[in-house]
Amino acid sequence: MNKKKRYEILSLFYKKQPNPKIELIFSSDFELLLSVILSAKSTDIMVNKITGTLFQIANTPQGILQLGLDKLRYYIQSIGLYNTKSLHIINTAYLIATKYKNKVPSNRIELESLPGVGRKTANIILNVLFNKKTIAVDTHVFRVANRTGFAKGKNVIDVEKKMIKIVPSIFKKYVHFWFVLHGRYVCTARQLKCKLCLIEKLCEFDRKK
């Protein structure tokens, strides 16, 4: 895909949704961090359902630590990998409370040192909370980038590097959310809704294959 076509695609997304928002519901930096940790291998709808209850009980590092591992497991047991995520959240809460003085770190190295926080999670936190022009590549972004021909790559790191290189600075802050929403509701994994697609005429996907 050439530079002109990519710019047209991003311009169309921008025109339709100039300020896209993350669909996770949160009211503090710490709540977002926990929500993104919980979202791994799960849906935002499920995470919001869980945190809607959990955050009424505990939504600070101290609150999570007081809740304890067993009770935390109980509140998040309906989500995938809840045992592992419970441990990650307890350990992350401890580090946020003791090492970072109850503040979510604002740089990648410190973020990725937290249990349960990988590159994708760090990119989302840096983007949403600290206005960094990072591009998180999840399954939706990876699929849309490859399927449309926008940025092809064999793995998420390849796609992220390409997108950082080719996406104009004015669009970098939003491109993750545009691609996530497009992949979630239009360019889905199993049932493509090409007739509803905003960028159908610019897409390079060969439906015959």
The residue annotated as part of the active site, out of 133, 138, 173, 208, is 138
CB 179 within 8 A of CB 172: no
Tell me if residue 68 falls in helix, strand or coil: coil
Look up 138 and say whether it is catalytic: yes
Catalytic residue chosen out of the listed positions 5, 16, 44, 120: 120
DSSP state of 116: T
- 191 exposed, middle or buried (CB, 10 Å; 0-12, 13-18, 19+)? exposed
Half-sphere exposure of 68 (CA within 13 A, CB side): 2
Among the listed residues 22, 25, 103, 99, the one whose alpha carbon sits nearest the alpha carbon of residue 60 = 103
Residues with catalytic function: 120, 138
